[in-house]
Amino acid sequence: MAVTLTVTGEKRGEWTVLQVAGELDLMTSPVLRQRVHDAVADGRHRLVLDLSQVVFCDSSGVGVLVAARRLIRSCRGRLRLILPGHGAPEGTHVNRVLAALGVRRLFDVHPDLGSATDDTSRPLSA
């Protein structure tokens, strides 16, 4: 079975949203890394990564997320992640991996697209 990852993008107000679906691992993480770099190169420094459809994430995927955070911060931009809340049947894998590695607290995490693109919303607690 082939490892797959799709990354699609859209504008939502001031935010660029990248919807990520599939497996985020050593083989596929360069795809997400490139899309983030392309967005920043295009001057889009307010980025939402919708990870609600990511079914697997290994340390290389986490590395891409941490690198994206560093890149966006260096541009004085903002990065938000969409991870469904506790008990959600989809997307909980990434939440668990980030928490297990002790890096979830580094990210501005939201439960859905509306919350992530609303500048008045509060992130989910770790």
Whole-angstrom Cα distance, residue 11 to residue 90? 23
In the structure encoding, which two tokens stand for residue 48, read together?
């939402």
pLDDT digits (tens, 9 = 90+) for 27-57: 999 999 999 999 999 999 999 999 999 999 9
The per-residue pLDDT for range 74-95, each reduced to its tens digit, is 999 999 999 976 555 544 788 8
- Collapse the DSSP code of 39 into the 3-class scheme (helix H, G, I; strand E, B; otherwise coil) and give the result: helix
The answer to whether residue 3 scores a pLDDT higher than 90 is no
Helix (H) or strand (E) holding 52: strand 46-57
